[in-house]
């Protein structure tokens, strides 16, 4: 009897310990399992597409587009230019003349007109195509073709082509460079068929929409009968963008 009671007591204690261990393992598994399920549900919730969030995103994009429209540069640009031409030439005694002109752009296309005294007095009209850069008052590379009307002799015209570049070193300071070649002239030029290159370049400073610059200009032309002329020197002036 005593032996049977002892066996019964030990059996009951063993069963209780086994049940307690199983319960602890089950609780641990349940906690870990629910944690995994919760994380997975959270990932799904964050990736879920909803109409409410789409409408909110659309409204934010609408406000962003409005801000960009108000703060982006206009595709239309205008400028006026004026300069004191200190260049000298070997044809006459002109040593101090003025250059003045104006221009306009619509996106990458522009037109420009100016009057200048260098080797002689001339009026220029040209078409610009900007192949790099967002606007005139920014780092850019621009091609141009044009027509020049000269007053010397009986008066004559020349077509020309060239390229110009503007490079900003920082937000205020930069350099400008331009190359142009004048093709053969119409009859009436002092040297017959006059043609030749022109180089211009120098530093500038921007103060908002206003620029002051100093460009060194070199132009050479030659024609028939040994005709040759050179104009070179500094051109100091300002340019207003609007």
pLDDT (tens digit per residue) in 27-46: 444 455 556 556 756 665 66
C-alpha pair distances (Å), 61 with each of 47, 68, 70, 145, 160: 20, 10, 14, 41, 47
Considering the chain, what percentage of its residues have pLDDT values greater than 90? 45
- Cα(179)–Cα(161) distance, integer angstroms: 9
pLDDT for position 37? 58
Helix (H, G, I), strand (E, B) or coil at 13: helix
pLDDT for position 38? 65
pLDDT for position 88? 77
Find the helix or strand (DSSP H, E) in which 218 lies.
strand 210-222
Reported confidence tier of residue 159, pLDDT bands at 50, 70, 90: very high
pLDDT for position 28? 47
Q: Where are the beta strands (DSSP E) in 58-195?
A: 76-85, 88-89, 97-106, 109-117, 121-132, 140-150, 156-168, 173-185
pLDDT tens-digit profile of 93-145? 555 688 999 999 998 999 999 999 888 888 999 999 999 988 899 999 999 99
Q: Which residues pair with 129 in a beta bridge?
A: 109, 143
How does the average pLDDT of the chain come out, rounded? 81
More confident residue, 170 or 58: 170
CA geometry: angle 68, 75, 138, nearest 5 deg: 85
pTM, two decimals, is 0.69
Asked if the model's pLDDT at residue 25 lies above 80, the reply is: no
Helix (H, G, I), strand (E, B) or coil at 49: coil
Asked if the model's pLDDT at residue 161 lies above 80, the reply is: yes
Comparing 5-9, 45-49, 160-164, 208-212, which segment has the lowest mean pLDDT? 5-9
């Amino acid at each position: 009897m005593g032996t049977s009671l002892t066996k019964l007591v030990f059996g009951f204690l063993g069963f209780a310990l086994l049940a307690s261990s199983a319960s602890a393992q089950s609780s641990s598994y349940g906690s870990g399992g629910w944690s995994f399920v919760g994380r997975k549900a959270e990932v799904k919730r964050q990736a879920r597409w909803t109409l409410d969030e789409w409408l909110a995103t659309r409204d934010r994009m609408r406000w962003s587009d409005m801000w960009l429209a108000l703060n982006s540069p206009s595709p239309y640009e205008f400028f006026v230019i004026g300069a004191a031409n200190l260049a000298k030439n070997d044809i006459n005694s002109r040593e101090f003349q003025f250059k003045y002109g104006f221009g306009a752009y619509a996106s990458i296309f522009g037109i420009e007109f100016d009057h200048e005294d260098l080797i002689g007095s001339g009026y220029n009209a040209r078409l610009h195509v900007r192949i790099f850069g967002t606007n005139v008052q920014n780092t850019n590379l621009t091609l141009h073709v044009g027509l020049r009307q000269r007053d010397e002799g009986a008066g004559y015209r020349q077509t020309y082509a060239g390229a110009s570049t503007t490079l900003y070193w920082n937000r205020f300071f930069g350099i400008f460079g331009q190359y142009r070649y004048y093709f053969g002239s119409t009859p009436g030029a002092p040297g017959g068929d006059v043609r030749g290159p022109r180089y211009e370049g120098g530093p500038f400073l921007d103060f908002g929409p206003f620029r002051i610059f100093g460009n060194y200009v070199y132009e050479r032309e030659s024609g028939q009968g040994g005709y040759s002329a050179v104009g070179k020197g500094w051109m100091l002036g300002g340019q207003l963008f609007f």
